[in-house]
Amino acid sequence: MMAPDFSRVAVYVRPGRTDMRKAANGFSILAVKHMELDPLSGAVFLFCNRERRLVKALYWARHRVRSAVACTAK
């Protein structure tokens, strides 16, 4: 299995805090309405919570929008 080529992927970070209880569909709506970007474009969208300890990534993979969560070190 080959590693994906991230050199051509656009990464967008939404400033401010985001409600992390949202699912992938909720984050897709944020990308469209607040960031004015297309979540199906192949880009990666990053969102963080109020404490800036959680980061959620939204990305298009295998015909659907997916999300992943990471915890940042303090």
- Partners of residue 13 on adjacent β-strands: 46
Average pLDDT of 50-65?
85
Answer yes or no: is pLDDT of 1 > 60.
no
Closest CA to 61 of 49, 37, 72, 45: 45
What does pTM read for this prediction? Answer: 0.80
CA angle at residue 59 from 62 to 2, to 5 degrees? 60
7-20 CB burial, b ≥16 within 10 A, e <16: eeeeeeebeeebeb
Average pLDDT of 41-58?
90
pLDDT tens track for 25-47: 899 999 999 999 998 888 999 99
